[in-house]
Amino acid sequence: MGLSLDASIALVALAPFLAAILAPFIHRLAGSYSAWILAIAPAGIFMLLIRLGEPVVGGGTIAAAIDWVPSYGLTLAFFLDGLSLVFALTIAGIGALIVLYAGAYLKGHPHQGRFLGYLLAFMGSMLGLVLADNMLALFMFWEATSITSFLLIGFDHNRQAARRGAIQALVITNIGGMCLLVGVILAQHLSGTWLLSELRGLEGVLKESALYVLVLALFVGAAFTKSAQFPLHFWLPNAMEAPTPVSAFLHSATMVQAGVYLLARMTPVLGGTDVWTGLLVAFGGVTLIWGALGALKETDLKQILAQTTIASLGLLVLLIGLGSEAAIAAMLVYFVAHACYKAGLFMVAGAVDHGAGTRDITALGGLADKMPVSFIGAALAALSMIGLPLTVGYFAKEEMYLALVGGGWAMWLVLAVLVTGNALLAGVALVVMVKPFLGDALPVPKSPHEAPVAMLAGPILLGGMGVVAGLLPDWLGHDVLAPGATAILGHGVEPHLTLALDLASPLIWLSALTWLLGIVVFRQAYAIRTVLRRLSAGLGWNADTVFDAVMFGLIRFAASVTRFLHHGKLEHYLVLVFVVLAVALFWPMLALGGFDWIVPTADLGDWSKRLVLPDLRPYEWGVVLLAVLGLAAVLIAQSRLIAILSLGIQGTALALIFLLFGAPDLAFTQLMVEILSVVILTIVMTNLRLDARDHRPFEDWARDGTLAVVCGAGVSLLLMLVLSGALDTRLSDFFTATSVPIAHGANIVNVILVDYRGFDTLGEISVVMGAGIAILALLRRRKKAEGVGP
Amino acid sequence: MNTVIFRTAAPLIVATMLVFSVYICLRGHNEPGGGFIGGLIGAASIAVFGMASGVPAVRRALKVDPLAIAGFGVLLAGLSGLLSLFIEAPFMTSIWLYLDLGETVVPLSTPMFFDIGVYFVVFGTLSAIALALESDREEDL
């Protein structure tokens, strides 16, 4: 192999992001051919994965790591085993077809380059997700898929429905993302490793922990939101507001399967317990039936497909919950089958929309003549979805029945759910295949015409895959099923798929029953739809309306909290600030017994005799007198202007004290601050056009006065307390001793500011600038409100 | 306030204060001073200039928006810290360079550039606030 392993695997995860950044530029240069150029990235990754996958098929794994944060022992580790290979190949393979499809679907759209960029970025996140070994990297890629899918669903952001669908998907999947983050951190805490590959070796650690149920709930919560399990399924149909290529890619074979991937990946460490099986089988089963019935209720092709995707996701979760060898094998085969036929069907739905101008099945009919290739694509996909022999879907169905036949009553119940669900899905598949294409031609908005090659390549290739793979059970069993199942279960699994029909086995009769019921459902589709619509109308609300109510309530709650905290009354803000200051000053002193230090105790005798005047020089007395005079002037001044100036006098006296006692830097700064604050206060005062005099009612005056005295006393007492103890001079000794030799500066204050604690200063000057911007914003807003200036 | 004496004397005061502010800023490493106090003096001079000649004249004289100066200061301070990455030392490790110009030795250092950054931030932010307040008043009256 030409490339080193590290480089190759990193390339798989990073190349799509590079392509995503380049996409808009390539689109500007190459125009409508850009999709063909950009499809090289996923296609190349697909080929690379096939080459990398050779040892994996034999049962091995490939691991590679790049240092990430070495000081915390974190590595950006990737690994490739049977499970990740199946997912990665699906993502890259379908990704290449989708990029081509999107090029044709959005032909001439002004933002096509951006769209292709989002699509490729999503693909990179998804590949990273299934290849990540480090759980934190897994989380990052998981969130990246949520964000890129938000951008893709909301691509048509001028429509309110698209924006709403995008926000809904983001909110729901991000709740899961937060669950995953906490779950991952807990798992690391319990096991001591960030690496999934190491975690797999520590089988009992999580299961035997007291926190097992919590960890399980977090991971399952993450998977259920992403994989749209009931009752969190409702975001997926709304995400159909996305352009069709997005639905075909994200909402069939990739993003929504991330939850399935996570559950399969965690099976060795979390699976096999009663809680696990109960949770997954129950929710999976309900989701299966709910989605299948939901599909029958809809008439829009994309909505129908979205609902069947929910059903299929439920089925996959159910199979993982069962966890037996046959169930896991069925899960993998069904995943491959579903990825092929569902992506294909979505692309056909887009082609029908493109050709006929509508996606409503009640308005479509007889398109097979005008759109023969699309019809073939739809038929191939639908056959696999029904699960007829010679398709991959058939094996998937056989395997899942095999997993259940011969169990206890609970297994028979699950089997009944599976047969019902599969029959409903088969009925939907017939509806999707037959209704638009066969029968009488109906008048449609556009004159029906076949879609361009780039839009047909996907359905035909994927539909063909579904059949070809079905004809090669040995390859399917050996190269897909066995390595994948081995990776999930942790022990070797032998493939046993065969084309032969064994009429003595109950499996074939269960399949026949499924088909029969499917035909019944198809015949009665109209009646079922009517009944379901009446039922849901009678209910009056659904998960969607609940979501809206919750979001609306959240916004109202946030607004009321904001109104409560930010009432806009400066006077109250100031009172609050100073009350808190007073509490912060006095409480520690009271709690820690600080007063005992300051207030002289009885054994000192008559303390009033010990009071002496400090020994100051005359000019020092002069400065102190100046400060006191300034203060007195502030208190007795009638005019605000005089009060401000007197405050400046008091501050200047303080600066002089600093100067006399050997702190010239402090004195300098104090002086400048005093000057500027007098100037600014004066300007603000005249600006606000306040009365020259201060007319406060007595109660305000008393409140402000009390607060001022309390805060002032608090600061004074605290300073006395600090000075009464022995000053710890270790730091100042260090600075004095080292300032010149190691920091080359004699001014310790400045050296501390710009060198020893430069990082603090960097933060402070950023705050200074931020405060300046805020003040300017406030001033400009006021000017605007007054209608003065810009 | 807008007396002839003030308007005549103001440019002289402003120029002196500005030069002094730079002097205070640069000498700060060894003697009282530094970027912060230098910036305060500079901003005070701008405030005086604004009172004497009007805000539009000051803005024209400054050429750039004072907030942009502050932003440049943050950038300069941050970048001076990044220089240490080139000698494979942690962020903000100081680097010293003594330029020998025959008669005297001029010490250049990353903390000096950092301090100049501080000067620009304080100068820019406070000038921006002072000018905004002053222009507000002008338009009001």
B11-63, pLDDT tens digit by residue?
A: 999 999 999 999 999 988 888 888 999 999 999 999 889 888 888 889 999 99
Measured N-to-C along each axis, helices A640-660 and A664-687 cross at an angle, to the nearest 10 degrees, of 170
A-B C-beta contacts closer than 8 Å:
150
> Which residues of chain A are within 8 Å of residue B82 when distances are taken between CB atoms?
none
Count of the separate structural domains present in chain B: 1
Degrees (nearest 5) of the Cα angle B118, B119, B124?
100
Kindly state whether B114 is in contact with chain A, defined as any CB-CB distance less than 8 angstroms.
yes
> Which residues of chain B are within 8 Å of residue A689 when distances are taken between CB atoms?
140
Burial of A596 (0-12, 13-18, 19+ CB in 10 A): exposed
To the nearest whole angstrom, how far is the Cα of A6 from the nearest Cα of chain B? 25
Degrees (nearest 5) of the Cα angle A617, A622, A623?
100
> Which residues of chain A are within 8 Å of residue B124 when distances are taken between CB atoms?
769, 772
pLDDT per position as a tens digit, B60-109: 999 999 999 999 999 999 999 888 888 878 888 888 888 787 778 788 88
The CA distance from B16 to B22, in Å, is 10
| pTM assigned to the model | 0.73
- Helix/strand/coil (H/E/C) assignment for every residue in A153-186: HCCCCCCHHHHHHHHHHHHHHHHHHHHHHHHHHH
**Residues pairing with B100 in the sheet:** B105
> Which residues of chain A are within 8 Å of residue B140 when distances are taken between CB atoms?
687, 689, 788
Distances (CA, A) of A535 to A97, A171, B79: 40, 28, 66
> Which residues of chain B are within 8 Å of residue A686 when distances are taken between CB atoms?
137
To the nearest whole angstrom, how far is the Cα of B15 from the nearest Cα of chain A? 17
Joined tokens for residue A763: 């933060």
Kindly state whether B60 is in contact with chain A, defined as any CB-CB distance less than 8 angstroms.
no
Residues in chain A predicted with pLDDT less than 70, given as ranges, are 1-7, 59, 495, 498-504, 540, 594, 596-610, 783-790
The CA distance from A247 to A261, in Å, is 19
> Which residues of chain A are within 8 Å of residue B130 when distances are taken between CB atoms?
676, 679-680, 683
The CA distance from A567 to A378, in Å, is 61
To the nearest whole angstrom, how far is the Cα of B56 from the nearest Cα of chain A? 13
- Inform me whether the pLDDT recorded for B139 exceeds 60: no
Residues spanned by the domain of B19:
4-140
Q: What is the DSSP letter of A727?
A: P
- Yes or no: say if B83 and B95 are a contact pair by the CB < 8 Å rule: yes
The CA distance from A686 to A689, in Å, is 5
From chain B residues 67-96, the ones with a CB under 8 A of any chain A CB are 67, 70-71, 73-74, 77-78, 81, 91-92, 94, 96
Whole-angstrom distance between the N-terminal and C-terminal Cα of chain A?
A: 65
Measured N-to-C along each axis, helices A506-523 and A392-404 cross at an angle, to the nearest 10 degrees, of 120
Q: Which of B18, B27, B30 to mutate: most A Cβ within 10 Å?
A: B30
To the nearest whole angstrom, how far is the Cα of A789 from the nearest Cα of chain B? 8
Q: Could you tell me which of A430, A119, A466, A461 has the C-alpha nearest to residue A295?
A: A430
Closest CB from B78, B109, B137 relative to A687 = B137
The CA distance from A144 to A137, in Å, is 10
Beta strand pairing status for B96-100 and A62-69? unpaired
Q: Which helix (H) or strand (E) holds A556?
A: helix A543-565
> Which residues of chain A are within 8 Å of residue B114 when distances are taken between CB atoms?
754-755, 758, 761-762
With CA atoms as reference, the chain B residue closest to A769 would be: B125
Give me the pLDDT at residue A85, please.
87
Q: Which of B84, B136, B138 to mutate: most A Cβ within 10 Å?
A: B136
Q: Which of B65, B125, B134 to mutate: most A Cβ within 10 Å?
A: B125
Give me the pLDDT at residue A4, please.
63
Whole-angstrom distance between the N-terminal and C-terminal Cα of chain B?
A: 14
Mark yes or no for CB contact B71/A769 under 8 Å.
yes
Closest CB from B111, B124, B137 relative to A755 = B111
Closest CB from A673, A766, A788 relative to B40 = A673
Give me the pLDDT at residue A2, please.
44
To the nearest whole angstrom, how far is the Cα of B38 from the nearest Cα of chain A? 9
With CA atoms as reference, the chain A residue closest to B48 would be: A679
> Which residues of chain A are within 8 Å of residue B118 when distances are taken between CB atoms?
753-754, 761, 765
Task: Determine the length of chain B.
Answer: 141
The CA distance from A601 to A724, in Å, is 14
Cβ count near A415 (within 10 Å): 18
Dihedral of alpha carbons A624, A630, A635, A636, sign: positive
Interface of A with B (CB under 8 A): 664-665, 668-669, 672-673, 675-676, 679-680, 683-684, 686-687, 689, 743-747, 749-751, 753-755, 758-759, 761-762, 765-766, 768-769, 771-773, 775-776, 779-780, 782-783, 788-789
To the nearest whole angstrom, how far is the Cα of A641 from the nearest Cα of chain B? 15
| Sequence-ordered list of residues with C-beta below 8 angstroms from that of A225, at least 6 positions apart, any chain | A172, A173, A175, A176, A179, A232, A259
From chain B residues 30-59, the ones with a CB under 8 A of any chain A CB are 30-37, 40-41, 43-44, 47
Distances (CA, A) of A502 to A20, A389, A405, A466, A507: 50, 12, 15, 22, 8
Q: Could you tell me which of A750, A728, A730, A751 has the C-alpha nearest to residue A739?
A: A751
- Helix/strand/coil (H/E/C) assignment for every residue in A124-164: HHHHHHHHECEHHHHHHHHHHHHHHHHHHHCCCCCCHHHHH
> Which residues of chain B are within 8 Å of residue A765 when distances are taken between CB atoms?
73-74, 77, 117-118, 121-122
Q: How far is CA A73 from the centre of its chain?
A: 25
ipTM field: 0.91
Q: Which of B82, B94, B137, B141 to mutate: most A Cβ within 10 Å?
A: B94
With CA atoms as reference, the chain B residue closest to A750 would be: B29
- Yes or no: say if A509 and A502 are a contact pair by the CB < 8 Å rule: no
To the nearest whole angstrom, how far is the Cα of B128 from the nearest Cα of chain A? 7
Mark yes or no for CB contact B126/A686 under 8 Å.
no
Joined tokens for residue A82: 């049977």
Q: What are the boundaries of each domain within chain A?
A: 733-790
The CA distance from B48 to A441, in Å, is 85
Distances (CA, A) of A203 to A190, A206, A319: 12, 7, 21
Q: Per-residue DSSP letters for A257-297?
A: HHHHHHHHHHHHHH-SSHHHHHHHHHHHHHHHHHHHHHHHH
The CA distance from A474 to A498, in Å, is 7
- Helix/strand/coil (H/E/C) assignment for every residue in A324-380: CHHHHHHHHHHHHHHHHHHHHHHHHHHHHHHHHCCCEHHHCCCCCCCCHHHHHHHHH
